[in-house]
Structure 1
Amino acid sequence: MALRNIRKYGDDILRKKSRKVDVINDRIKTLLGDMVDTLYEEDGIGLAAPQVGVLKRIVVIDIGDGVLYKLVNPEIIYSEGSYIDREGCLSIPGVEGEVERPQIVKVKALNEEGEKIVVEGKDLLARAFCHEIDHLNGVLFIDKIVKKEGEGGK
């Protein structure tokens, strides 16, 4: 696979809504692989397709618990609870902030084989699901900060 360039804050693509993936073909599978390679190279926990310049509803997440999520057309179908914790973003280096997110979320999506799946996340994984799905809608974590740390920002 190949590494992709991560788009940075100020790039218009980060504010656009991504399109649904109609068919999972070799091109989509290559994109998923490239996104995983890029995520690991950048030492991140999540990456959405718009962050590598592709307006498709695709995210990859690995919070370091031994599970790699490759989600196509992810959609939050359930959320519960609320807590505030720090977030950062590969597209906004050097900025962190406190963001309120649900404590538990369920996400329906397609896996890379096109099979329907439902995954549940709690705490950090729930936060990662929400953060990356926000990217697919042109929403950045800085839009939801309740307390900012670092340089840059809005």
Structure 2
Amino acid sequence: MTILPIRLFPDPILRKKSKEIDNIDLEILEFSNNMLETMQYAKGIGLAAPQVGRLVRLITIQVPECEPLIMFNPYVNKKLGKRMIPEGCLSVPGFTGIVERSISISATYIDKNKGKIQLSATELLSQAIEHEIDHLNGIMYLDHLESHEKLHKTGITPDDIHWHDVAYKVSINKDNATKMDLETEGIIERKIELSKIKSDGSIEEASFDV
């Protein structure tokens, strides 16, 4: 098994649409297993192939108390209801925002044995599937943000599990031209330039408030 590097926003690959997988061969099976191990190592609950540099329609999911899922060519057949819920992303580490997701979904995918599987999902599982399929279409949760597109710092540590997030330290970089509003722990509003997040998920902390 191999731990794959996770691409961080604004890597251009995160905005490209992935292609369907025509043949589930040994190479793609090995890649899918590496994705699963990478997701687990990062303490995420979902990962899409573009996040590790490959534009194929493949996602891995593992929510608490459930077996991991490897889903080839997944798509959502049906969505029921709407809800507003916090969400984060391994490719935007250390932050969450409020987005609209379905209450429940029906999805279809191909499993590692080349069987066609139909799945009904609710709550965190449905959220994770919608989030990861968005990645396959070049869509990020940042595109769904509510509340004036504000992001919230999670304050997570390397031992925490938080939605789709990997627990990297991310702070503030003030030497930028383009900035996004960030409400830090609901108390102090600061600025962050997401395009300056380094490959290891960290940027230099600033000592100013706005």
Secondary structure of 1:31's partner? helix
Secondary structure of 1:88's partner? strand
Residue in 2 that maps onto 1:149: 152
Over 2 Å off, 4+ runs: 150-154
> If the length of structure 2 is used for normalisation, what is the TM-score?
0.71
Residue in 2 that maps onto 1:40: 40
State the shift of 1:120 in Å.
Answer: 1.2
Equivalent residues in 2 for 1:83-102, closer than 5 Å: 83-102=83-102
Which protein has greater RCO, CA pairs closer than 8 Å, 6+ apart? Answer: 1
Partners of 1:6 and 1:83 in 2: CA distance: 28
Residue in 2 that maps onto 1:4: 4
In percent, how many aligned pairs have the same letter?
36
Tell me if 1:140 matches 2:140.
yes
Partners of 1:31 and 1:64 in 2: CA distance: 23
> If the length of structure 1 is used for normalisation, what is the TM-score?
0.96
State the shift of 1:142 in Å.
Answer: 0.5
Residue in 2 that maps onto 1:121: 121
Partners of 1:120 and 1:143 in 2: CA distance: 25
Residue in 2 that maps onto 1:51: 51
Secondary structure of 2:98's partner? strand
| One-letter amino acid of the structure 2 residue matched with residue 39 of structure 1 | M
Partners of 1:133 and 1:96 in 2: CA distance: 18
Question: What's the C-alpha RMSD, in Å, of the aligned pairs?
Answer: 1.2
Q: Deviations over 1:82-139 (max 9, x none)?
A: 1111000000012210010000001101001111001111011110000000000000
More divergent stretch after superposition (112-121 vs 132-141): 112-121
| One-letter amino acid of the structure 1 residue matched with residue 87 of structure 2 | E
Residue in 1 that maps onto 2:160: none
Partners of 1:86 and 1:122 in 2: CA distance: 15
Partners of 2:11 and 2:132 in 1: CA distance: 17
Residue in 2 that maps onto 1:16: 16
Residue in 1 that maps onto 2:70: 70
Q: Any gaps of 5 or more consecutive residues in structure 1?
A: none
Greater Rg over alpha carbons, structure = 2
- Residues matched between the structures, number: 154
Partners of 1:128 and 1:66 in 2: CA distance: 13
Secondary structure of 1:20's partner? coil
Partners of 1:95 and 1:16 in 2: CA distance: 22
Q: Which has the higher helix share?
A: 1
Secondary structure of 2:109's partner? strand
Secondary structure of 2:114's partner? coil
